[in-house]
């Protein structure tokens, strides 16, 4: 009877990291850094600048939980916990400033966000290069005018002796002259329309850049299938730039509590304060002008936390809808 003795198979277990592999990777990385040393130095300067001016000042956030006074250091200020946050939430003007902030921001998100997309799509369809450049230049110019200058212009135009009254009286749309900025009912419309006028062309730049990257083969295939210009725009161009739209929408949602501080501060006055007082201007008045730095810091920190939550939520929703996200 033959007995076969089965030899156990010899298993060669290779180490996950071969000897010397880390050393080789380190040498390779060091060589790459040495070859790009000037670029690395330039990048390092940016990192150092960001660390100094963006991260080190974050230590000052602790005054949101203290009763800080300018005559004492941050470490000497007494701890008060969440008192500053509670005070803001219990303030009688809290609901008013929240309503104004969310109202104008949400209307801008609904109306002002899609307009640059539509403008970019229509601008892309212009066949005349000279006309296209002229429209681009005209639409970009208001962006380069500061709100200090533009606010003064709008204040003059919207006054009872301004050009807007002259035009509306000439067209028979109003019966008597009125100061539009003196009425709270007109303030939201003025803010939203002036913001669109100033930023429409500039906001369309990134969409035009995304459209420029769309493959011409897609348009040629659509032409062969018999698609007209509108159908190409709807079925080719728009889907191609949808990732760009999704990213900018996520960022827009995260900034919904940020009103345009410069614009609001220039256009607001005591007569329209019930409609113009937003979180930013309210905190500026109470926190900065009245030297309540802990209060201003607490509200700013609260806004940052809410913005972060909105960013995560919008990012998750957009990722589920079309697979595009920031992270």
Average pLDDT for the chain = 87
For residue range 252-311, what is the model confidence (pLDDT) as tens digits? 998 888 888 899 999 998 889 889 999 999 888 888 888 888 998 998 889 889 989 999
Task: Give the phi and the psi of residue 66 in degrees, each rounded to 5.
Answer: -130, 165
pLDDT of residue 258: 85
Residue 324 has pLDDT above 90, yes or no: no
Separation between Cα atoms, residue 150 and residue 159, nearest integer Å? 14
Q: Residue 5 pLDDT > 50, yes or no?
A: no
Give the pLDDT confidence of 53-66 residue by residue, as tens digits: 989 988 989 999 99
From residue 76, how far is each of 147, 200, 278 by CA, in Å? Answer: 39, 48, 32
Strand partners, 79: 66
The candidate with the shortest Cα–Cα distance to 245, out of 305, 321, 158, 183, is: 321
pTM of the model: 0.80
SS3 66: strand
Percent of the chain with pLDDT over 90: 43
Rounded to an integer, what distance in angstroms lies between the CA atom of residue 85 and that of residue 87? 5
C-alpha 132/C-alpha 126 separation (Å) is 6
The answer to whether the beta carbons of residues 243 and 318 sit under 8 Å apart is no
Worst-scoring range by mean pLDDT, 14-23, 40-49, 180-189? 14-23
Retrieve residue 35's tokens. Answer: 């070859």
Task: Provide the CA 176 distance to its chain's centre, in angstroms.
Answer: 40
Q: How many whole angstroms from its chain centre is CA 41?
A: 30
Whole-Å CA distances, 24 to 13, 28, 35: 22, 6, 16
Which of 195, 180, 191, 188 has its CA nearest to residue 100?
Answer: 188
The confidence score (pLDDT) of residue 20 equals 60
Q: Is the dihedral of CA 176, 171, 183, 145 positive or negative?
A: negative
């Amino acid at each position: 009877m033959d007995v076969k003795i089965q030899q156990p198979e010899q298993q060669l277990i290779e180490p996950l990291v071969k000897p010397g592999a880390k050393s080789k990777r380190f040498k390779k990385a060091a060589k790459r850094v040495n070859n790009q040393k000037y670029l690395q130095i330039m990048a390092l300067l940016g990192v150092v600048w960001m660390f100094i001016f963006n991260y080190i000042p974050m230590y000052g956030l602790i005054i949101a939980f203290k009763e800080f006074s300018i005559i004492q250091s941050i470490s000497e200020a007494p701890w008060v916990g969440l008192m500053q946050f509670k005070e803001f939430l219990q303030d009688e003007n809290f609901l008013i400033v929240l309503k104004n902030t969310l109202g104008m921001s949400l209307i801008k998100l609904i109306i002002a966000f899609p307009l640059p997309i539509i403008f970019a799509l229509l601008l892309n369809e212009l066949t005349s290069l000279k006309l296209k450049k002229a429209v681009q230049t005209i639409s970009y110019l208001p962006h380069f005018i500061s709100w200090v200058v533009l606010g003064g212009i709008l204040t003059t135009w919207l006054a009872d002796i301004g050009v807007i009254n002259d035009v509306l009286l000439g067209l028979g749309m109003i019966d008597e002259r009125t100061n539009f900025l003196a009425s709270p009912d007109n303030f939201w419309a003025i803010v939203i329309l002036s913001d669109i006028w100033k930023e429409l062309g500039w906001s369309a730049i990134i969409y035009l850049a995304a459209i420029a990257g769309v493959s011409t083969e897609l348009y040629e295939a659509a032409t062969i299938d018999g698609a007209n210009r509108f159908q190409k725009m709807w079925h080719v161009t728009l889907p191609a730039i949808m990732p760009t739209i999704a990213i900018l929408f996520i960022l827009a949602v995260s900034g919904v509590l940020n009103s345009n501080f410069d614009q609001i501060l220039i256009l607001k006055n005591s007569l329209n304060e019930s409609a113009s007082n937003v979180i930013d201007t309210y905190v500026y008045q109470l926190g900065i002008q009245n030297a309540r730095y802990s209060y201003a810091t607490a509200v700013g920190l609260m806004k940052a936390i809410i913005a972060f939550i909105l960013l995560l939520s919008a990012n998750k929703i957009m990722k589920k809808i079309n697979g595009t996200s920031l992270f």
